[in-house]
Copies of this chain bind each other. A is one copy, B any other.
Amino acid sequence: MFNFEFYNPTRIVFGRETVARLDTLIPAEARVLILFGGESAEKTGTLHEVRTALGARRFMEFGGIEPNPSYETLMRAVALVRQEKLDFLLAVGGGSVIDGTKFVAAAAEFAGDPWSILETMGQAVTRALPLGAVLTLPATGSEMNYNAVVTRQETKTKAFFASSHVFPRFSILDPVKTYTLPAHQLANGVVDAFTHIVEQYLTYPAEGRVQDRFAEGLLQTLIEIGPKVVNEPADYDSRANLMWTATMALNGLIGAGVPQDWSTHLVGHELTSQFGIDHARTLAIVLPSMLQTRRASKHAKLLQYAERVWNISEGSDDARIDLAIAQTRHFFESLGVPTRLRDYQISAGDIDTLVSRLEAHGMTQLGEHQDVTLAVSRQVFEASL
């Protein structure tokens, strides 16, 4: 096990009818900005519940935060916060809204050019407004971590930052809030959480038994509940387990003390920025090919994955690894998530562009061994056609 530090002060309030708890979680004198995405927050009644819970507090609202939240949009929220002297941010939505809110929290208190928050990957952040979240879409884990991804539209650049100043003070996780989600968003959530876990698990053995067992348990849970999550809109238990799994998948716990990969995410980002494919769907395309392409360096862990996650214990090493990767692909497809570039009309002729984008973004040495070069990424794209 590697040396590590683990710190996560976000308070999770989990369960039915927990939105009303906002009244005790947000200071009575706070001047609140509610941030949200599209119209669903209003239509589903969640915004109404939030407003009711805030009681006599002064609050304003800022809607329209996009999937892959844009720097340009968020800077308008920053301007509003400063102008109106708002001092508590409440994200109501999924990972994009919460990521965006983290950026607003840091940027509103930032003296220089806020873009440098992203250029320094958060190192420049020394303070931030307090923020909380009401999670409506389980997937990214943003509700219990200090990371955020922001996209600069003018340059099609996905930029990442992390700072302990932007941990949500609390996140409210009510599984009932997911009942109204469309199936494709839930499927995306399952794939996103699944891939987050794999990025921290499927590397090389490092004697992190606790971390491995936790990761395997989360993967098994997603495999068990995935079909119900997508097909049964009002099944509380599967939604609750999805929500808690997705949070645990990226709150720092399973990755503490073990090697991490993240190449699938970084390669997938180019598919989002170039072709607008949903984040989770890029992962479904890239992950099976990434595992296939790097099966030699991930050999031991792929065998462990085959046995402990997919119960595959028969056949040669190669056969077991083949089957485990095939099962992974099949699992994503079974949820209605395509796993091929051709499903998005992307062909071999587009690969040069994708590789040059990776190069332009400095993504030339990815993965737990920094051996995912541009040549390897090219192989991954080719294997994904």
Contacts and interface: CB of A to CB of B under 8 A. Distances in A.
Contacts of A214: 213-214, 217
Given A15-B3, A18-B3, A221 B213 contact: yes
Interface stretch (A4-12, A63-71, A133-141, A285-293): A4-12
A331 interface: no
Nearest to A241: B209
A18 B1 CA distance: 14
A245 B2 contact: no
A218 interface: yes
A179 interface: no
Contacts of A213: 213-214, 216-218, 220-221
B7 A11 contact: yes
A351 to B, nearest CB: 38
Interface string A202-223: 0000011110111011101100
A217 B216 CA distance: 9
Which of A208, A209, A240, A244 has the largest number of chain B CB atoms within 10 A? A209
A300 interface: no
A376 interface: no
Contacts of A217: 209-210, 212-214, 216-217
Contacts of A310: none
A124 to B, nearest CB: 20
Given A1-B237, A3-B18, A210-B218, 11 more contacts: A1-B240, A1-B241, A3-B15, A5-B12, A8-B9, A14-B256, A14-B257, A207-B237, A207-B240, A209-B217, A210-B241
Interface of A: 1-16, 18, 207-210, 212-214, 216-218, 220-221, 224-225, 237, 240-241, 244-245, 248, 256-257
